[in-house]
Amino acid sequence: MSHTAPVLRKPTVRNYRRRRFSVTTSIVYVVFVILIVTQLYPLLWLLIYSLKTNEEILSGSFFALPASLQWQNYSDALGGGQYFRYLLNSLFVTSVTMICVIVLASLTGFAIARFRWRFANAVLMVFLVGMMIPMQGTLLPLMIIFKHLGILNTHLSLILPYMAFQTPIAVFIISGFMRSIPHEIEESAIVDGSGIFRIYWNIALPISVPPIMTVCILTFINIWNEYILAATFVTAERLKTLPFGVYSFVSQYSVNYGGIGAFLVLGALPVILIYFLLAEKITKGMVAGAVKG
């Protein structure tokens, strides 16, 4: 009776690819889990922090849950923290800045990307250099200039530097996208009798909605919690923006840490909501001009 020897199967290319794919996928999942934990943990910690009493916060138990949820902290933030007044000031400064940045950046980006003139790249380089200037290095000269102009301690003293610091990145994003717009569209519009401004308003601007949305979101996030310029140029209580609300919970002999946490949660809530609602717009706007259309 003959016995046949077992035949060993050699690893196929398909099995090797499947094993390699599973290892790579596992590594990617691990990295994603680490990123999610590191990004969400501060938000969850702040939420738990805002629902604790001062005694629980000062006890040093950072990971402990509150014995009872202190919703009174949020009532203090809305009332004693004057949340709505600071919120309206921040909305006004941020909205005006966003509108001005979009108008200036779209016009400049249109001129750089669509006009054929010798100094287009040089002008773009000037804006790129503007992205490298640190905000802290402009505080003293801006203070002197605004004092001579008589606009110190006004919202205009915040809007102007915010525009100056947000416009360069906006011009870079919008001009990069407008370079990808086919020239045949403009040529057809010119044949139909359209002028430069009509081409900009009816053609270039509607097509450039994705990068404009990206500029809006980035500008909103950068300005909403800005503190250095606001603390330097604005001293009137009625003009202060949202980051100053935390001082409402600090007195000479006591600090309401739970109220500060609740105010920070309420202050971060608009940014979080806008980012999650429009996160896809950011991705589309950033890569929109990467491929020629």
pTM: 0.79
In a domain, 226, yes or no: yes
Compute the average pLDDT of residues 182-203.
84
Q: Are 158 and 229 in contact (CB under 8 A)?
A: yes
**Residue entry with tokens 């050699």:** 10
Q: How many CA atoms lie within 13 A of 272 on its CB side?
A: 11
In a domain, 34, yes or no: no
> How many angstroms separate the CA atoms of 159 and 165, rounded?
10
Compute the average pLDDT of residues 207-234.
88
Q: Is the pLDDT of residue 72 over 60?
A: yes
pLDDT-derived band at 283, boundaries 50, 70, 90: low
pLDDT-derived band at 287, boundaries 50, 70, 90: low
- pLDDT (tens digit, 9 = 90+) per residue, 108-137? 999 898 888 888 888 889 888 888 888 888
Residue in 221, 204, 215 with CA at minimum distance from that of residue 275:
221
pLDDT at residue number 128: 86
Residue of higher predicted confidence among 3 and 69: 69
In a domain, 292, yes or no: no
pLDDT-derived band at 27, boundaries 50, 70, 90: confident
- pLDDT (tens digit, 9 = 90+) per residue, 94-109? 999 999 999 999 999 9
In a domain, 127, yes or no: yes
Name all contacts of 129-132 with Cβ < 8 Å and 24+ positions apart.
130/164, 130/165, 130/167, 130/168, 131/168, 131/169, 131/172
In a domain, 173, yes or no: yes
In a domain, 275, yes or no: no
Q: Is the pLDDT of residue 217 over 80?
A: yes
Compute the average pLDDT of residues 236-261.
84
Which residue range is the domain that position 209 belongs to? 81-249
Residues in the chain: 293
Q: Are 156 and 229 in contact (CB under 8 A)?
A: no
Residue 127: CATH number of its domain: 1.10.3720.10
Q: Is the pLDDT of residue 11 over 70?
A: no
Domain count, the chain: 1
Compute the average pLDDT of residues 22-46.
81
**Which tokens belong to 214?**
């990206």
In a domain, 131, yes or no: yes
In a domain, 261, yes or no: no
pLDDT at residue number 292: 42
DSSP string, 158-194: HHHHHHHHHHHHHHHHHHHHHTTS-HHHHHHHHHTT-
